[in-house]
Structure 1
Amino acid sequence: MSYEPPRPVRGLLLTPEDRAAPARISRLRRLGLGERPEPALDAFADHLGQLTGAPYAMVNFIGEDHQFFAGLCTPVVAPVVREDGSRPEVGRILPRDHGFCPHVVVRRKALVLEDVRDYPRFAGNPVVDEYGIRSYLGAPLVDRYGMVLGTVCASDVAPRAWGRSGLDTIKALAAELVVRIERSEADGLPI
């Protein structure tokens, strides 16, 4: 009998298994989404950032091993300064195990984290240390077939009491964006 030591787990980061990923990726490709930045989705993320007052806002499509921010709103200068004096740069792609959107996609429900450090499951997430993310508000983009295409979300580097109004806002914006995506599909026009 042999003994294998347990694999180290950073915090309690347990990114959920995403069995729907292959079908979602196929649907996103048919829609022409999730592989390049979309100016209309950047504008949508800007609007979300203004509504919530959050420094980060995204329209995020989740693949099997990564996330792609087709819509992205970030501060001109990252609010977090690392120990070496540098500031993190937010790109359009993150590994699937970074952030909280993969949880929203698999759960199929909005997620509100007023202070991520209050939740052991999320406190060890790499975005907490790398980008200083302390709060998160996200909702799934569920199409007419019941498929979760991705998320809309906002994040802050300080704890935030998003409250019921924040939850209602993010859910309404997710529903609004799904209507725009489906209208675009039906009309054969860009979003």
Structure 2
Amino acid sequence: MPDGDRGTELTDAGRSGALRDTGLSAAPDAGMDRFARLVTSVLEVPVALVSLVEPGRQVFPGMNGLAEPWARARQTPLTHSMCRHVVLSREPLILPDAREDELTCANLAIEDLGVVGYAGMPLTDADGHVLGSLCAIDTEPHAWTARELQDLADLAAACSAELRLRIVSRHHEWARPRPARRKRGRRSWPSRPARRWAGRSCCCARPRSWPTRPGWPRCASGSGTWSPATSSLPTSVWCWCRTVGCGGSRTRRT
């Protein structure tokens, strides 16, 4: 990669969007931790990381064997990052002894994190952006064998597939239509039949089309009036009769 492109790779908009869409950050993730445990078990190394490289830091959603205080923080500044070289070069980085390599000999991860032997494989999304690295770390010089590197590459491919699935799932979630919210406001005026009979005598003006049911409100004196209360008649209706026979009470069928 040309030198002019190396500095802009970490801030590429497409890559930054893919990192965000994974939903992963400096917090433990069960699936990513599982990949880290597999690396330490298969390659028999003390430390393994699923490292996602952001513009200003690297985070470890998957981790196994890292010492404190880094294990609690699950992140380091880029001054302590070997994995950023994997992102910048888009290629695996294999270091039998990081202290003797010109690219990494001044990296603070050697002294602070105890990184000596390092092997990192790229983690990519569907568009080819390198999001980070699945790396195996040894605290002593390590002569990586072809079998170990092939196993690490296979695990990195599986981890990349998991990251791609999470990105696609997030996109589908955003594209899913959301149910319309029910509008809140004043109740609508009753339907036409209710308006037609509103204000007429409650006992003599009730239209024959309205069924008589148990509990139907009736005015005792016959001088009351029906008026709409909340919705179309006859679901909710009030008798506003105030004669002696009704006692001036309001009767409602619910």
- Tell me the TM-score normalised to structure 1 length: 0.77
The answer as to whether partners of 1:74 and 1:90 remain within 8 angstroms in 2 is no
User: Which residue of the partner structure matches residue 194 of structure 2?
Assistant: none
User: Which residue of the partner structure matches residue 166 of structure 1?
Assistant: 148
2:7 to 17, 22, 33: 17
Distance 2:89 2:145 in 1: 20
The answer as to whether partners of 1:58 and 1:154 remain within 8 angstroms in 2 is yes
Gaps of 5+ in 2: 1-5, 173-254
User: Which residue of the partner structure matches residue 154 of structure 1?
Assistant: 136
SS of 2:104 mapped into structure 1: helix
Distance 2:17 2:85 in 1: 20
Report deviation, 1:129.
1.2
The answer as to whether partners of 2:10 and 2:53 remain within 8 angstroms in 1 is no
Alignment pair present for 1:125 and 2:125: no
Alignment pair present for 1:175 and 2:166: no
User: Which residue of the partner structure matches residue 137 of structure 1?
Assistant: 119
Show the 5 A alignment for 1:32-111: 32-74=23-65, 78=67, 89-91=69-71, 92-111=74-93
Report deviation, 1:131.
2.3
SS of 2:70 mapped into structure 1: coil
1:116-161, Cα deviation, whole Å (9 max, x unpaired):
1221221221111112211101011122211111110011110111
The answer as to whether partners of 1:49 and 1:57 remain within 8 angstroms in 2 is yes
Of the structure 1 ranges 23-32 and 47-56, higher mean CA displacement relative to structure 2 is found in: 23-32
Structure with higher Rg: it is 2
SS of 1:36 mapped into structure 2: coil
The answer as to whether partners of 2:98 and 2:105 remain within 8 angstroms in 1 is yes
Distance 1:164 1:132 in 2: 24
Q: Which amino acid aligns with 1:19?
A: E
The answer as to whether partners of 1:18 and 1:64 remain within 8 angstroms in 2 is no
1:88-115, Cα deviation, whole Å (9 max, x unpaired):
5323110012131000011001111011
Distance 1:41 1:47 in 2: 10
Distance 2:108 2:132 in 1: 20
Distance 1:167 1:47 in 2: 14
User: Which residue of the partner structure matches residue 5 of structure 1?
Assistant: none
Q: Which runs of 4+ in 1 moved over 6 A?
A: none
Q: Which amino acid aligns with 2:115?
A: I
Distance 1:62 1:20 in 2: 8
Report deviation, 1:30.
1.8
Distance 1:184 1:119 in 2: 35
Distance 1:51 1:106 in 2: 27
Q: Report which structure shows greater RCO (CA 8 Å, sep ≥6).
A: 1
SS of 2:79 mapped into structure 1: coil
Q: Which amino acid aligns with 2:69?
A: E
SS of 2:127 mapped into structure 1: coil
